[in-house]
Amino acid sequence: MTVMQPSVLNLKELPSDLDRNRLPRHVAVIMDGNGRWAKHRGLPRIMGHRQGVDALKKLLRCCKDWGIEALTAYAFSTENWGRPLEEVDFLMTLFERVLMRELQEMIEENVRIQFVGNLAALPRSLQDQIERSMTATQGNSGIQFTVATNYGGREEILQACRAIATQVQQGKIQPDEIDEALFSRYLYTANVCDPDLLIRTSGEMRLSNFLLWQMAYGELYITEALWPDFDRTQFHQALSAYQQRHRRFGKV
Ligand code: FPP
């Protein structure tokens, strides 16, 4: 007889070793290793991205089941335009198709989706689909799902500076009113709390220009697993590691 893991018996149930009261409110992910996952199987890189979408969808459902309030995923960085044209085109089309395919389910599952980044530089049809998805889910009260697309942390900070400088120039803000809380309101992520936990797959130990301001005190969890292999068991391990950390926020 096969002994089943409790998480397999009841997917909605939080594993019993995790403390419900000390879960991260906001989890962010750098989904690295799609290309390598495909290469190890003798497949084209794009197959890794397809499989990566599946892993992301499963993680979103898991976060929802386990009561995590927000999930943010780094789908495309401002530096990713430097990839071969066919791969960039494939990714743009993939984002659009995924959005179209999953929209109804996101509405039904009460997911609120938003895209952050320099969206104006994305293909027009993708911008339209993003707009539709955000509008259709904006009234939902469930998990906040943020997809960073054409996102760069430094660029995000610069656009906030420009916007604040304009307000100062117009006399609407006094320079000494600029504090952390005000600055945060000018970031793309103004409507969501800072991530408590950032997970990066495939063993790389960098932030890669992701959520530079927001990750000031966030915990980092790096796993060797490639993104398409990141599943509930891996997420469970990440949460267990997070719950063993002692967060001090610069205090003793
Ligand atoms: C990094 O792997 C992954 C990406 C650049 C793309 C990730 C995008 C998705 C999984 C799709 C998300 C879609 C929506 C609509 C939410 P890599 O190519 O850098 O892998 P490598 O490091 O092995 O080369």
* Domains recognised in the chain with CATH numbers: 22-151+195-243 (3.40.1180.10)
Closest residue by Cα to residue 45 from 99, 79, 89, 102: 89
Q: Catalytic site residue 32?
A: yes
CA of 32 to the centre of ligand 1 (A): 6
Ligand 1 neighbourhood includes 99 CB (under 6 angstroms): yes
pLDDT of residue 74: 98
Q: Which atom of ligand 1 lies nearest, measured to the CA of 39?
A: 23
Closest residue by Cα to residue 154 from 210, 115, 197, 196: 210
CA of 31 to the centre of ligand 1 (A): 6
Helix runs in the chain, H state only: 6-9, 34-40, 45-66, 85-108, 124-137, 153-169, 180-185, 232-244
Ligand 1 neighbourhood includes 208 CB (under 6 angstroms): no
93 contacts: CB under 8 Å, gap ≥ 6: none
Ligand 1 neighbourhood includes 32 CB (under 6 angstroms): yes
Q: Catalytic site residue 80?
A: yes
pLDDT of residue 6: 47
CA of 170 to the centre of ligand 1 (A): 41
pLDDT of residue 252: 75
Q: Which helix (H) or strand (E) holds 116?
A: strand 112-116
Ligand 1 neighbourhood includes 38 CB (under 6 angstroms): no
Among 49, 77, 100, name the best residue to mutate to test ligand 1's pocket (greatest count of ligand atoms within 8 A of Cβ). Answer: 49
Record the tokens describing residue 49, joined without a space.
């991205």
Predicted confidence pLDDT, tens digits, the chain (252 residues) = 444 454 444 557 899 999 999 999 999 999 999 999 999 999 999 999 999 999 999 999 999 999 999 999 999 999 999 999 999 999 999 999 999 999 999 999 999 999 999 999 999 999 999 999 999 999 999 999 999 999 999 999 999 999 999 999 999 999 999 999 999 999 999 999 999 999 999 999 999 999 999 999 999 999 999 999 999 999 999 999 999 998 778 887
CA of 202 to the centre of ligand 1 (A): 12
Apex CA 92: angle with CA 157 and CA 200, to 5°? Answer: 55
Catalytic residue among 65, 80, 118, 229: 80
Ligand 1 neighbourhood includes 56 CB (under 6 angstroms): yes
Residue nearest to atom 7 of ligand 1 (CA): 75
Centre a 10 Å sphere on the Cβ of residue 47 and count the other Cβ atoms it contains. 17
pLDDT of residue 11: 55
| Distance (Å, whole) CA 14 – CA 19 | 9
| Distance (Å, whole) CA 96 – CA 161 | 31
Predicted model pTM: 0.93
- The residue whose two tokens read 């389910």 is 105
Apex CA 197: angle with CA 141 and CA 17, to 5°? Answer: 85
